[in-house]
Amino acid sequence: MKTKLIQHIIKIRYVNRILEILIKAIKEYPDKIRLWAKTIEFVHEAGINNGCYKIYFLIDELRRDRIINSLSSKFLKGFVIQVFTEMIFRSIRRISDLEISSHKRNNSIAFLESALNGRMINSVKTFSRRNKMEFIIIKVNLFYFAFSTLKLLSKELVRDLPIIHKQLVPCPEKTAIDIGNIML
């Protein structure tokens, strides 16, 4: 038992160190879009707590430090929201798959907890209210659709997702229905 705990702690340190290196690379090359996407995918696969939060708010840090301009910041936030949405749907598929390993399932749940915490949702809402560019509106609406899908599914999967189910902030029902109609 003690050995497993030590192994788990070592794994967490190792994974967090890799994330730090990826974030350093993003700071040095913020225009490398695939690096952003692969970093988010790594956070998803590794199930890093607060990984989404770190990546999303890194954009604000880069903007404050004048490494990127306002338009780049908007584009990157829209892109990051898009990749989060893709990973949310991937996590939903994993959680609902009965044949998936418990390790992958737990990592997906950890990703969802990171991507859908209250502060993250509020930041996305604030961002979408301040920016009325069409590409941002589309990406945010898809994010809300993924969020609403998870909210509906979490009622069925509540025994596996109690923390997420409690954290889900009410999403405007009209938005979810409208987006659902568009997607169908």
Per-residue pLDDT tens for 145-165?
A: 888 888 777 665 545 554 454
Q: Output the pLDDT for position 156.
A: 59
pLDDT at 122: 86
Which pLDDT score is estimated for 161? Answer: 55
pLDDT tens string 8-31: 778 888 999 999 999 999 999 999
Neighbours of 160 (CB within 10 A): 16
> Residue 61: which domain range?
2-183
Non-local (6+) Cβ contacts of 64 within 8 A are none
Residues of the chain under the 50 pLDDT cut: 158, 162-163, 165-173, 176-177, 179-184
Contact (CB, 8 A) for 76 and 14: no
The domain tally of the chain equals: 1
* 66-91: b (≥16 Cβ within 10 Å) or e: eebeeeebbbbbbbbbbbbbbbbeeb
- State the pLDDT at residue 152: 78
CB within 8 Å of 99: residues ≥ 6 apart: none
The pLDDT, as a whole number, for residue 151 is 77
Handedness of CA 149, 154, 160, 162 (dihedral sign): positive
First to last CA, the chain: 49
d(CA 110, CA 119): 16
